[in-house]
Chains A and B, each alone.
Chain A
Amino acid sequence: MTTGSEQSGGWWPAEDDAATSWLPERELPPLNPETAGPPTNNARPVRLALGLAILAAERLRATARPAAEQEASTAAVDRPRNAGPSAAFETGVGLLQQTAAEAREVARRAMDRPARLASRTATWASRLPGANVPRRSLWRSRERIDRMVAEARDRGAAAVAESRADATAFVQTTVNDAIAWAQAQAIPQIVDGLVPHLVDSVVPRIIDGAMPEIRSRVLPVVIDDLTNDPQVRDLMVEQGRGVVGEAAEHLRNTTASADDRVESAFRRLARRSDEQSSDVDSDQSTPPANTG
Protein backbone atom coordinates (compact mmCIF):
# COMPACT_ATOMS: atom_id res chain seq x y z
CA MET A 1 0.00 0.00 0.00
CA THR A 2 1.41 3.25 -1.04
CA THR A 3 1.13 6.25 1.16
CA GLY A 4 -0.38 9.53 0.18
CA SER A 5 2.88 11.29 0.48
CA GLU A 6 4.55 8.98 -1.98
CA GLN A 7 1.72 9.48 -4.44
CA SER A 8 1.58 13.18 -4.28
CA GLY A 9 5.26 13.79 -3.50
CA GLY A 10 4.29 16.78 -1.35
CA TRP A 11 3.22 17.33 2.22
CA TRP A 12 0.23 15.02 1.81
CA PRO A 13 -0.09 12.82 4.97
CA ALA A 14 -0.03 9.08 4.63
CA GLU A 15 -3.06 7.15 5.75
CA ASP A 16 -1.19 5.67 8.74
CA ASP A 17 0.16 9.04 9.76
CA ALA A 18 -3.19 10.63 10.41
CA ALA A 19 -2.32 11.18 14.06
CA THR A 20 0.72 13.22 13.15
CA SER A 21 -0.63 15.02 10.13
CA TRP A 22 -0.15 18.37 11.88
CA LEU A 23 3.62 18.00 11.71
CA PRO A 24 5.42 19.62 8.78
CA GLU A 25 6.52 17.40 5.96
CA ARG A 26 8.10 19.96 3.71
CA GLU A 27 11.64 21.28 3.94
CA LEU A 28 12.28 24.09 6.38
CA PRO A 29 13.69 27.36 5.08
CA PRO A 30 17.49 27.67 5.25
CA LEU A 31 18.97 28.43 8.64
CA ASN A 32 21.86 30.55 7.52
CA PRO A 33 20.79 34.20 7.78
CA GLU A 34 23.15 35.24 4.99
CA THR A 35 21.67 32.79 2.52
CA ALA A 36 18.17 33.29 3.81
CA GLY A 37 18.06 36.81 2.48
CA PRO A 38 16.91 39.94 4.24
CA PRO A 39 14.20 39.64 6.85
CA THR A 40 10.74 40.81 5.98
CA ASN A 41 9.47 44.07 7.30
CA ASN A 42 6.86 42.30 9.39
CA ALA A 43 9.37 40.04 11.08
CA ARG A 44 11.84 42.76 11.91
CA PRO A 45 10.03 44.47 14.83
CA VAL A 46 9.33 41.12 16.45
CA ARG A 47 12.91 40.03 15.97
CA LEU A 48 14.13 43.36 17.32
CA ALA A 49 11.92 43.04 20.37
CA LEU A 50 13.18 39.53 20.93
CA GLY A 51 16.81 40.71 20.64
CA LEU A 52 16.20 43.55 23.06
CA ALA A 53 14.61 41.16 25.50
CA ILE A 54 17.60 38.84 25.21
CA LEU A 55 20.04 41.70 25.80
CA ALA A 56 18.03 42.92 28.77
CA ALA A 57 17.89 39.42 30.21
CA GLU A 58 21.63 39.03 29.82
CA ARG A 59 22.24 42.37 31.51
CA LEU A 60 19.87 41.51 34.36
CA ARG A 61 21.52 38.17 34.81
CA ALA A 62 24.94 39.81 34.88
CA THR A 63 23.97 42.40 37.50
CA ALA A 64 21.92 40.04 39.65
CA ARG A 65 24.62 37.51 40.22
CA PRO A 66 27.13 38.22 42.97
CA ALA A 67 30.73 38.18 41.98
CA ALA A 68 31.59 35.10 43.97
CA GLU A 69 28.78 33.15 42.48
CA GLN A 70 29.81 34.29 39.05
CA GLU A 71 33.31 33.03 39.59
CA ALA A 72 32.02 29.73 40.92
CA SER A 73 29.58 29.28 38.10
CA THR A 74 32.07 30.20 35.42
CA ALA A 75 34.52 27.78 36.92
CA ALA A 76 32.00 25.01 37.22
CA VAL A 77 29.94 25.32 34.07
CA ASP A 78 31.36 25.04 30.61
CA ARG A 79 28.81 27.42 29.14
CA PRO A 80 30.02 31.02 29.49
CA ARG A 81 27.87 33.53 31.36
CA ASN A 82 27.21 35.77 28.39
CA ALA A 83 26.70 32.91 25.96
CA GLY A 84 23.08 33.88 25.43
CA PRO A 85 19.83 32.07 26.14
CA SER A 86 19.56 28.37 26.94
CA ALA A 87 18.93 25.61 24.43
CA ALA A 88 15.38 25.21 25.73
CA PHE A 89 14.68 28.83 25.07
CA GLU A 90 16.11 28.58 21.58
CA THR A 91 14.00 25.50 20.92
CA GLY A 92 10.95 27.35 22.16
CA VAL A 93 11.65 30.21 19.83
CA GLY A 94 12.10 27.80 16.94
CA LEU A 95 8.84 26.05 17.75
CA LEU A 96 7.07 29.34 17.94
CA GLN A 97 8.45 30.27 14.56
CA GLN A 98 7.40 26.97 13.09
CA THR A 99 3.99 27.23 14.64
CA ALA A 100 3.58 30.67 13.20
CA ALA A 101 4.73 29.48 9.81
CA GLU A 102 2.40 26.48 9.93
CA ALA A 103 -0.50 28.59 11.07
CA ARG A 104 0.03 30.81 8.10
CA GLU A 105 0.24 27.79 5.83
CA VAL A 106 -2.91 26.16 7.27
CA ALA A 107 -4.79 29.39 6.86
CA ARG A 108 -3.71 29.52 3.26
CA ARG A 109 -4.69 25.91 2.69
CA ALA A 110 -8.06 26.31 4.34
CA MET A 111 -8.87 28.88 1.75
CA ASP A 112 -7.89 26.50 -1.00
CA ARG A 113 -10.62 24.13 -2.28
CA PRO A 114 -8.50 21.17 -3.41
CA ALA A 115 -6.84 21.30 -0.12
CA ARG A 116 -10.11 20.93 1.71
CA LEU A 117 -10.99 18.02 -0.47
CA ALA A 118 -7.71 16.35 0.20
CA SER A 119 -8.17 16.91 3.87
CA ARG A 120 -11.53 15.19 3.85
CA THR A 121 -10.11 12.32 1.85
CA ALA A 122 -7.36 11.89 4.33
CA THR A 123 -9.82 11.83 7.18
CA TRP A 124 -11.86 9.23 5.39
CA ALA A 125 -8.86 7.10 4.61
CA SER A 126 -7.72 7.16 8.19
CA ARG A 127 -11.06 5.57 9.27
CA LEU A 128 -10.65 2.56 7.02
CA PRO A 129 -10.01 -0.73 8.79
CA GLY A 130 -6.35 -1.60 9.10
CA ALA A 131 -5.24 1.91 8.54
CA ASN A 132 -4.20 2.40 12.11
CA VAL A 133 -1.00 0.77 12.94
CA PRO A 134 -0.38 2.35 16.31
CA ARG A 135 3.05 0.99 17.04
CA ARG A 136 4.62 1.99 13.74
CA SER A 137 2.83 5.27 13.78
CA LEU A 138 4.08 5.98 17.29
CA TRP A 139 7.62 5.22 16.29
CA ARG A 140 7.44 7.41 13.23
CA SER A 141 5.80 10.14 15.23
CA ARG A 142 8.57 10.09 17.80
CA GLU A 143 11.18 10.19 15.10
CA ARG A 144 9.44 13.05 13.42
CA ILE A 145 9.07 14.90 16.73
CA ASP A 146 12.76 14.45 17.43
CA ARG A 147 13.66 15.76 14.02
CA MET A 148 11.27 18.60 14.43
CA VAL A 149 12.68 19.53 17.85
CA ALA A 150 16.22 19.46 16.47
CA GLU A 151 15.22 21.63 13.56
CA ALA A 152 13.35 23.93 15.88
CA ARG A 153 16.43 24.24 18.09
CA ASP A 154 18.63 25.13 15.14
CA ARG A 155 16.09 27.50 13.80
CA GLY A 156 15.59 29.06 17.22
CA ALA A 157 19.33 29.47 17.73
CA ALA A 158 19.63 31.19 14.40
CA ALA A 159 16.67 33.39 15.16
CA VAL A 160 18.05 34.29 18.57
CA ALA A 161 21.45 35.11 17.07
CA GLU A 162 19.85 37.24 14.39
CA SER A 163 17.64 38.96 16.94
CA ARG A 164 20.56 39.62 19.21
CA ALA A 165 22.64 41.06 16.36
CA ASP A 166 19.73 43.21 15.26
CA ALA A 167 19.13 44.45 18.78
CA THR A 168 22.82 45.21 19.32
CA ALA A 169 22.97 47.15 16.07
CA PHE A 170 19.75 48.94 16.96
CA VAL A 171 20.98 49.87 20.43
CA GLN A 172 24.32 51.01 19.06
CA THR A 173 22.70 53.13 16.36
CA THR A 174 20.26 54.60 18.84
CA VAL A 175 23.00 55.44 21.31
CA ASN A 176 25.17 56.98 18.58
CA ASP A 177 22.25 59.03 17.33
CA ALA A 178 21.45 60.15 20.84
CA ILE A 179 25.06 61.16 21.48
CA ALA A 180 25.26 63.04 18.18
CA TRP A 181 22.02 64.80 18.92
CA ALA A 182 23.21 65.71 22.41
CA GLN A 183 26.50 67.04 21.05
CA ALA A 184 24.80 69.12 18.39
CA GLN A 185 21.68 70.27 20.18
CA ALA A 186 21.51 69.67 23.88
CA ILE A 187 25.01 70.18 25.26
CA PRO A 188 25.64 73.62 23.65
CA GLN A 189 22.33 74.85 24.98
CA ILE A 190 23.03 73.44 28.41
CA VAL A 191 26.50 74.98 28.46
CA ASP A 192 25.20 78.34 27.22
CA GLY A 193 22.63 78.36 29.92
CA LEU A 194 24.96 77.09 32.59
CA VAL A 195 28.01 79.31 32.07
CA PRO A 196 26.48 82.62 33.21
CA HIS A 197 25.08 80.94 36.28
CA LEU A 198 28.45 79.35 37.03
CA VAL A 199 30.35 82.60 36.49
CA ASP A 200 27.91 84.75 38.43
CA SER A 201 27.12 82.65 41.43
CA VAL A 202 28.87 79.30 41.63
CA VAL A 203 32.48 80.25 40.94
CA PRO A 204 32.49 83.29 43.28
CA ARG A 205 31.07 81.13 46.03
CA ILE A 206 33.69 78.47 45.43
CA ILE A 207 36.44 81.08 45.43
CA ASP A 208 35.09 82.70 48.58
CA GLY A 209 34.94 79.35 50.26
CA ALA A 210 38.35 78.16 49.12
CA MET A 211 40.29 81.42 49.47
CA PRO A 212 40.91 81.32 53.24
CA GLU A 213 42.11 77.75 52.95
CA ILE A 214 44.36 78.64 50.03
CA ARG A 215 45.79 81.63 51.89
CA SER A 216 46.45 79.77 55.09
CA ARG A 217 47.67 76.45 53.74
CA VAL A 218 48.57 76.49 50.06
CA LEU A 219 50.23 79.86 49.52
CA PRO A 220 52.85 79.54 52.28
CA VAL A 221 53.91 76.17 50.91
CA VAL A 222 54.07 77.49 47.35
CA ILE A 223 56.05 80.56 48.38
CA ASP A 224 58.39 78.42 50.45
CA ASP A 225 58.98 76.12 47.50
CA LEU A 226 59.53 79.02 45.14
CA THR A 227 61.98 80.83 47.38
CA ASN A 228 63.97 77.68 47.95
CA ASP A 229 64.03 76.75 44.30
CA PRO A 230 67.43 77.66 42.81
CA GLN A 231 65.98 77.87 39.31
CA VAL A 232 63.43 80.46 40.38
CA ARG A 233 66.12 82.39 42.25
CA ASP A 234 68.38 82.42 39.20
CA LEU A 235 65.47 83.52 37.08
CA MET A 236 64.69 86.42 39.41
CA VAL A 237 68.33 87.50 39.52
CA GLU A 238 68.50 87.31 35.75
CA GLN A 239 65.33 89.34 35.40
CA GLY A 240 66.61 91.91 37.90
CA ARG A 241 69.84 92.15 35.98
CA GLY A 242 67.90 92.59 32.78
CA VAL A 243 65.78 95.40 34.22
CA VAL A 244 68.81 97.21 35.66
CA GLY A 245 70.72 96.69 32.42
CA GLU A 246 67.89 98.11 30.36
CA ALA A 247 67.60 101.14 32.63
CA ALA A 248 71.36 101.73 32.47
CA GLU A 249 71.33 101.39 28.70
CA HIS A 250 68.52 103.89 28.45
CA LEU A 251 70.42 106.30 30.70
CA ARG A 252 73.58 105.90 28.63
CA ASN A 253 71.76 106.55 25.38
CA THR A 254 70.08 109.60 26.86
CA THR A 255 73.31 111.13 28.17
CA ALA A 256 75.15 110.32 24.95
CA SER A 257 72.52 112.10 22.86
CA ALA A 258 72.61 114.96 25.36
CA ASP A 259 76.38 115.11 24.83
CA ASP A 260 75.85 115.55 21.09
CA ARG A 261 73.08 118.11 21.50
CA VAL A 262 75.06 120.25 23.96
CA GLU A 263 78.06 120.11 21.72
CA SER A 264 76.18 121.05 18.57
CA ALA A 265 74.47 123.90 20.43
CA PHE A 266 77.83 125.14 21.58
CA ARG A 267 79.17 124.92 18.04
CA ARG A 268 76.23 126.88 16.62
CA LEU A 269 76.76 129.52 19.27
CA ALA A 270 80.48 129.71 18.53
CA ARG A 271 79.86 129.92 14.75
CA ARG A 272 77.35 132.73 15.20
CA SER A 273 79.73 134.73 17.36
CA ASP A 274 82.48 134.16 14.75
CA GLU A 275 80.18 135.43 12.01
CA GLN A 276 79.23 138.48 14.05
CA SER A 277 82.84 139.32 14.77
CA SER A 278 83.75 138.87 11.09
CA ASP A 279 80.84 141.15 10.10
CA VAL A 280 82.05 143.79 12.50
CA ASP A 281 85.60 143.48 11.12
CA SER A 282 84.37 143.79 7.53
CA ASP A 283 82.26 146.81 8.41
CA GLN A 284 85.28 148.51 9.96
CA SER A 285 87.60 147.68 7.04
CA THR A 286 85.20 148.75 4.26
CA PRO A 287 85.61 152.46 3.26
CA PRO A 288 82.49 154.56 3.45
CA ALA A 289 80.58 154.81 0.18
CA ASN A 290 81.02 157.86 -1.88
CA THR A 291 77.77 159.70 -1.57
CA GLY A 292 78.75 162.55 -3.76
Chain B
Amino acid sequence: MAVPDHHYAGLVSRISALGVDLIVVAAASGAVRVLPEVVWKTVTHLATPHWLSMAFGLAAAVLPFLYFTLFWWLPGQTVGQMLMGIAVRRNNGHEDPTLVQAALRSAFGLALFPLWIVGLLPILWDSKRRAWHDKVFRTVVPYVSRLRKS
Protein backbone atom coordinates (compact mmCIF):
# COMPACT_ATOMS: atom_id res chain seq x y z
CA MET B 1 0.00 0.00 0.00
CA ALA B 2 1.56 3.28 -1.12
CA VAL B 3 2.10 6.11 1.32
CA PRO B 4 -0.40 8.88 0.50
CA ASP B 5 0.76 12.26 -0.74
CA HIS B 6 -0.71 14.78 1.66
CA HIS B 7 -0.98 17.43 -1.03
CA TYR B 8 -4.10 15.65 -2.30
CA ALA B 9 -7.52 15.79 -0.70
CA GLY B 10 -8.67 12.83 1.33
CA LEU B 11 -11.99 11.09 1.66
CA VAL B 12 -13.53 13.34 4.32
CA SER B 13 -12.78 16.56 2.44
CA ARG B 14 -14.15 15.23 -0.80
CA ILE B 15 -17.32 13.76 0.69
CA SER B 16 -17.88 17.02 2.63
CA ALA B 17 -17.43 19.04 -0.56
CA LEU B 18 -19.77 16.73 -2.40
CA GLY B 19 -22.35 17.10 0.36
CA VAL B 20 -22.21 20.89 0.14
CA ASP B 21 -22.48 20.71 -3.64
CA LEU B 22 -25.49 18.45 -3.46
CA ILE B 23 -27.22 20.89 -1.10
CA VAL B 24 -26.43 23.80 -3.40
CA VAL B 25 -27.57 21.91 -6.51
CA ALA B 26 -30.74 20.70 -4.82
CA ALA B 27 -31.59 24.22 -3.69
CA ALA B 28 -30.84 25.69 -7.09
CA SER B 29 -32.76 23.00 -8.98
CA GLY B 30 -35.74 23.33 -6.66
CA ALA B 31 -35.70 27.09 -7.14
CA VAL B 32 -35.51 26.75 -10.92
CA ARG B 33 -38.31 24.20 -10.88
CA VAL B 34 -40.70 25.95 -8.51
CA LEU B 35 -40.02 29.69 -8.50
CA PRO B 36 -40.96 30.46 -12.12
CA GLU B 37 -44.34 28.79 -11.67
CA VAL B 38 -44.96 30.75 -8.48
CA VAL B 39 -43.98 34.00 -10.16
CA TRP B 40 -46.20 33.19 -13.15
CA LYS B 41 -49.20 32.50 -10.96
CA THR B 42 -48.59 35.61 -8.88
CA VAL B 43 -48.28 37.88 -11.86
CA THR B 44 -50.89 36.47 -14.25
CA HIS B 45 -53.27 34.71 -11.84
CA LEU B 46 -53.48 31.91 -14.40
CA ALA B 47 -52.51 28.26 -14.42
CA THR B 48 -48.91 27.58 -15.38
CA PRO B 49 -48.62 26.55 -19.04
CA HIS B 50 -47.39 23.07 -19.72
CA TRP B 51 -44.51 24.25 -21.84
CA LEU B 52 -43.29 26.48 -19.08
CA SER B 53 -43.37 23.67 -16.56
CA MET B 54 -41.57 21.42 -19.00
CA ALA B 55 -38.93 24.02 -19.78
CA PHE B 56 -38.07 24.78 -16.22
CA GLY B 57 -38.29 21.07 -15.31
CA LEU B 58 -35.73 20.35 -17.98
CA ALA B 59 -33.58 23.25 -16.76
CA ALA B 60 -33.76 21.91 -13.22
CA ALA B 61 -32.70 18.47 -14.49
CA VAL B 62 -29.80 19.85 -16.50
CA LEU B 63 -28.70 22.27 -13.83
CA PRO B 64 -26.58 19.76 -11.82
CA PHE B 65 -24.72 18.75 -14.93
CA LEU B 66 -24.13 22.36 -15.91
CA TYR B 67 -23.16 23.23 -12.37
CA PHE B 68 -20.45 20.59 -12.05
CA THR B 69 -19.22 20.97 -15.61
CA LEU B 70 -18.90 24.70 -15.58
CA PHE B 71 -17.45 24.96 -12.11
CA TRP B 72 -14.86 22.25 -12.77
CA TRP B 73 -13.97 23.73 -16.13
CA LEU B 74 -13.79 27.44 -15.31
CA PRO B 75 -12.53 27.97 -11.75
CA GLY B 76 -11.61 24.32 -11.29
CA GLN B 77 -13.65 23.92 -8.14
CA THR B 78 -17.29 23.80 -7.11
CA VAL B 79 -18.77 25.76 -4.22
CA GLY B 80 -18.27 22.83 -1.85
CA GLN B 81 -14.70 22.40 -3.02
CA MET B 82 -14.06 26.13 -2.55
CA LEU B 83 -15.29 25.80 0.98
CA MET B 84 -13.05 22.80 1.67
CA GLY B 85 -10.06 24.35 -0.10
CA ILE B 86 -9.75 21.65 -2.76
CA ALA B 87 -9.91 21.74 -6.56
CA VAL B 88 -9.99 19.45 -9.58
CA ARG B 89 -6.82 19.55 -11.67
CA ARG B 90 -5.39 17.62 -14.56
CA ASN B 91 -3.02 14.76 -13.82
CA ASN B 92 -0.04 17.11 -13.66
CA GLY B 93 -1.69 18.81 -10.70
CA HIS B 94 -1.44 22.38 -12.05
CA GLU B 95 -3.88 22.90 -14.95
CA ASP B 96 -7.64 23.10 -14.76
CA PRO B 97 -9.52 20.26 -16.47
CA THR B 98 -10.63 20.75 -20.05
CA LEU B 99 -14.27 21.22 -20.89
CA VAL B 100 -14.50 17.65 -22.16
CA GLN B 101 -12.84 16.29 -19.07
CA ALA B 102 -15.17 18.28 -16.83
CA ALA B 103 -18.29 17.36 -18.80
CA LEU B 104 -17.49 13.65 -18.90
CA ARG B 105 -16.57 13.62 -15.22
CA SER B 106 -19.82 15.37 -14.38
CA ALA B 107 -21.99 13.15 -16.59
CA PHE B 108 -20.40 10.00 -15.24
CA GLY B 109 -20.85 11.07 -11.67
CA LEU B 110 -24.46 12.14 -12.03
CA ALA B 111 -25.51 9.22 -14.22
CA LEU B 112 -23.87 6.62 -12.04
CA PHE B 113 -24.11 8.31 -8.70
CA PRO B 114 -23.82 5.15 -6.55
CA LEU B 115 -20.75 4.18 -8.50
CA TRP B 116 -19.37 7.70 -7.94
CA ILE B 117 -19.76 7.24 -4.18
CA VAL B 118 -18.29 3.75 -4.15
CA GLY B 119 -15.56 4.93 -6.46
CA LEU B 120 -14.40 7.34 -3.77
CA LEU B 121 -13.13 4.48 -1.61
CA PRO B 122 -9.83 4.00 -3.51
CA ILE B 123 -8.85 7.43 -2.16
CA LEU B 124 -7.98 5.61 1.05
CA TRP B 125 -5.15 3.59 -0.47
CA ASP B 126 -4.17 5.39 -3.65
CA SER B 127 -0.87 7.28 -3.46
CA LYS B 128 -2.42 10.39 -5.05
CA ARG B 129 -5.73 9.85 -3.30
CA ARG B 130 -7.53 9.36 -6.61
CA ALA B 131 -11.06 8.00 -6.98
CA TRP B 132 -12.11 5.76 -9.85
CA HIS B 133 -13.43 8.65 -11.91
CA ASP B 134 -10.16 10.52 -11.33
CA LYS B 135 -8.27 7.61 -12.77
CA VAL B 136 -10.67 7.27 -15.69
CA PHE B 137 -10.69 10.97 -16.59
CA ARG B 138 -7.07 11.65 -15.59
CA THR B 139 -7.68 14.18 -12.88
CA VAL B 140 -6.44 14.74 -9.35
CA VAL B 141 -7.93 16.73 -6.43
CA PRO B 142 -5.25 18.62 -4.48
CA TYR B 143 -5.61 20.97 -1.51
CA VAL B 144 -5.36 24.40 -3.16
CA SER B 145 -5.12 26.27 0.14
CA ARG B 146 -2.09 24.21 1.19
CA LEU B 147 -0.53 24.59 -2.23
CA ARG B 148 -0.99 28.35 -2.07
CA LYS B 149 0.64 28.48 1.37
CA SER B 150 3.58 26.27 0.39
Q: Using a CB–CB distance below 8 Å, which chain A residues touch chain B?
A: 248-249, 251-252, 255-256, 258-260, 262-263, 266-267, 270
For B, the interface residue count at a CB cutoff of 8 angstroms equals 17
Which of B83, B125, B143 is within 8 Å of A270, CB to CB?
A: B125
Contact between B13 and A256, CB atoms less than 8 A apart: yes
Tell me the B residues contacting A by CB distance below 8 Å.
1, 4, 6, 9-13, 16, 83-85, 124-125, 143, 145-146
Residues of A within 8 A of B16 (CB): 255
Besides A251-B83, A256-B143, A270-B1, 17 more A-B contacts (Cβ < 8 Å) are A248-B85, A249-B85, A251-B84, A252-B84, A255-B13, A256-B9, A256-B13, A256-B146, A258-B12, A259-B9, A259-B11, A259-B12, A262-B12, A262-B124, A263-B10, A263-B124, A267-B125
CB distance from B26 to the nearest CB of A (A): 21
* Among candidates A255, A263, A266, A270, residue contacting B84 with C-beta atoms closer than 8 Å: A255
Greatest chain A CB density within 10 A among B4, B6, B10, B11 is at B10
A-B contact pairs, 19 of them (CB 8 A): A248-B85, A252-B143, A255-B12, A255-B13, A255-B16, A256-B10, A256-B146, A258-B12, A259-B10, A259-B11, A260-B10, A262-B10, A262-B12, A262-B124, A263-B10, A266-B124, A267-B1, A270-B1, A270-B125
What residues of B have a CB within 8 angstroms of the CB of A260 in the complex? 6, 10
Given A259-B12, A259-B13, A260-B6, A266-B146 contact (CB < 8 Å)? no
**A249-B146 Cα distance, complex, nearest whole Å:** 10
